[in-house]
Structure 1
């Protein structure tokens, strides 16, 4: 890592992470590791809260599964409403870092507000603001990673970042577990420590991430003499005319409609095994550990075979999670199997999706393009979370999970039919020829 200098000029040559002619992989760009550190520290903070939130809401405040589903939908879906805005603001004038700082700072300020929120509307409002911060920062952060990495190693770059991010997700529940065991007012202590750690993440971002991203060589002019596209919401939406972007976005939406929230997976696993409340916060550790181990290998695999195949394979792992929870088996290996497959699902989909989406999106619209795909996926998961909570309340957890399993099979079949025609691994200079590439 290095201290950022706002006066530094963006690089015009290829990123430092480009492979050498001898075929050996060179080191990834420092920006990738700096942002990985920010995500690691921030995830320690956020996962401390995430690990105890389901139990705090359901057992502590007595919310029904439907009420929790509504809150969880807000938690995961509110960010979708501002991702396009965050991506647009970041692309205008290359303000990726300022927008990211705003997003991280907004989420950090929400942590102590959980201490004051004791009703469903108040908690929903705090979570909505927290997810607004996440929505603002996600696309600019991923754009910084993609702009600092060449297409042939972008999957590895996102894999390294997600591995560092997941290291924080691994530590967060552990810290929450230790605090709950030692503190008298356990939940209050968790929220307070989470706030302090989140502020540290903002500080790392301010000091160690460059103010302007390294950018590739200027885009080639189009046949009509036009240059690179200007950042605007209209230009971002026009990216859907590009076949690869449109198909990938549709696949992400379809599969997101059948992606049950992590919190529901942990609650289902707790009910199957009769896990006590004090051990509940440790369940996300299994998912995080598998994610950490598999993020880089699956990122490299995506660079070789194409992100689409790895992305779809991740949803096959999720289907296996549903199947394992639906069986009557309660053996000792069940939690290890479920959590390992759950982590494999995230390792094969999270960073891989962004690495695949970055290829057909020009650098000038990178944040907007990534936000477009993220928004569709987040809205689909928002709908799934509410629908699953309602189904659980009306019919019970097994019927709700069975319905989600059948829906995932249908959506995966549809996504297979819509799959991109070619692997998405390179960069394109401009979307000006999108009509020629439209299906």
Structure 2
């Protein structure tokens, strides 16, 4: 089913050139609207993220271990809330509502940073901001998945991530300009960030539809309308739609999702495999903030230029997010996902052993952007194809929570290793762990079907 658009000339529906087939290949309006919301919100978030490591380490005097603990908290809170947010969105059958609450909470926290100038209040505000991110992530991705046919979800998530990354590109640039122009640079960044975040919430409320554009897509339903084949007109489709509206399956789709039903997702072999691999690889993925601090430590980049480092990652991610998603749809998500981690491993190796050259920061940041392009949208696309439509938010949250908790542990461990051993040995340990975990992930996600097809592309 997943490769139907490659085996039939006309796509998944209709004959070549008819309306449904053409529309099935277009990016859904819901995806574009959510991409706009993410673009605006990421401008706000990345303005803060670009200056936060330097603000905490140089401004508040945190040690690498203290920063690792705070960075882990920053991601760990989001992970725990993400699971609740995904299940709650499925349970109330309103993904937009839960996503909106998350976006609103994150927007509220940005100006609160203006009042927090010590470690305790800053930690509380960051935890609340991550709570908002955790609430919105799974419902937002569920809306994208439910709006898109399974065979095109790599493309849809790639488009969304490209728009999201446009915000990630503009945010650090805005922070850089504000720091250079404002007297009290950090407070100015936090204030402007709050205003931009409010705009994102307004766009969500006004332009994002409440439900997915194609409810019931994905392997969880596993069915297409029998009347949508070649030569079927609008009149022949209407009775089928009326019948399905009163069927037991349709009634089950509208019923509230119970906790027991959500827990039953863990019995899905492909979802378990994806969750295990995401967590394993997350355990050895050094956070963005630490990577930028490592670059500064290795190359001596000045504090004034530090906020621009995320631009390199974001620019490459923006250019490659859609091509990587399309490639994953065509050749299999397993291959693209694992290749992204291989590129990250190369970046670690360059930071450890490459000679000091002016091009080193650019090459490392380019590899970092390639890693995100090959993994950030590909993983939820694989999860969406492995989970029933009515449990899509919960399934995405299960995998996302495992990955985020693993990265929480990585931040703590890496911060401690940097403090006790130094940056070089700490990164070498992370690189060795990533190599081992990638090998395990390649085995767990190995093809299992009789045709030998890559599992995430055709089975997930």
1:212 matched to 2:211: yes
| 3-state SS in 2 of match to 1:212 | coil
Alignment CA distance shift 1:186-1:73 (3 Å): same
Aligned to 2:418: 392
Aligned to 1:294: 320
Alignment CA distance shift 1:328-1:220 (3 Å): closer
Alignment CA distance shift 1:399-1:217 (3 Å): closer
The size of the alignment, in residue pairs, is 409
Aligned to 2:330: 304
Aligned to 2:231: none
CA distance in 2, matches of 1:180, 1:287: 20
CA distance in 2, matches of 1:122, 1:378: 23
Q: Deviations over 1:203-228 (max 9, x none)?
A: 0000000122224359479xxx8855
Aligned to 1:77: 76
Q: CA deviation at 1:140?
A: 0.3
1:116 matched to 2:89: no
Aligned to 1:357: 383
| 3-state SS in 2 of match to 1:116 | coil
Alignment CA distance shift 1:274-1:21 (3 Å): farther
Q: RMSD between aligned alpha carbons?
A: 1.9
Alignment CA distance shift 1:164-1:154 (3 Å): same
Contact 1:151 1:427 in 2 (8 A): no
Q: CA deviation at 1:264?
A: 0.6
| 3-state SS in 1 of match to 2:257 | coil
Q: CA deviation at 1:179?
A: 0.1
| 3-state SS in 1 of match to 2:376 | helix
Q: Deviations over 1:61-94 (max 9, x none)?
A: 1110001001111111111111111011111232
Q: CA deviation at 1:230?
A: 5.0
Aligned to 2:128: 129
Aligned to 2:29: 30
Max radius of gyration: which structure? 2
TM-score, normalised relative to structure 1: 0.90
Contact 1:362 1:427 in 2 (8 A): no
CA distance in 1, matches of 2:15, 2:138: 31
Alignment CA distance shift 1:198-1:259 (3 Å): same
CA distance in 1, matches of 2:369, 2:300: 22
CA distance in 2, matches of 1:70, 1:388: 10
Q: Deviations over 1:89-111 (max 9, x none)?
A: 11123210010000000001111
Aligned to 2:93: 94
TM-score, normalised relative to structure 2: 0.86
Alignment CA distance shift 1:93-1:330 (3 Å): same
Contact 2:332 2:458 in 1 (8 A): no
Aligned to 1:251: 277
Aligned to 1:401: 427
Q: CA deviation at 1:427?
A: 8.6
1:55 matched to 2:73: no
CA distance in 2, matches of 1:130, 1:112: 11
Aligned to 2:370: 344
Question: 5+ unaligned residues in a row in structure 1: which ranges?
Answer: 1-16, 429-439
Alignment CA distance shift 1:417-1:423 (3 Å): closer
| 3-state SS in 2 of match to 1:331 | coil
Q: Which of 315, 318, 335 is residue 341 of structure 2 equivalent to?
A: 315
| 3-state SS in 2 of match to 1:36 | helix
Contact 2:445 2:455 in 1 (8 A): no
Aligned to 2:436: 410
Aligned to 1:6: none
Q: How does 1:178-257 map to 2 (within 5 A)?
A: 178-216=177-215, 219=221, 227=252, 230-257=256-283
CA distance in 1, matches of 2:103, 2:383: 23
Contact 1:360 1:426 in 2 (8 A): no
Moved over 6 A (4+): 17-20
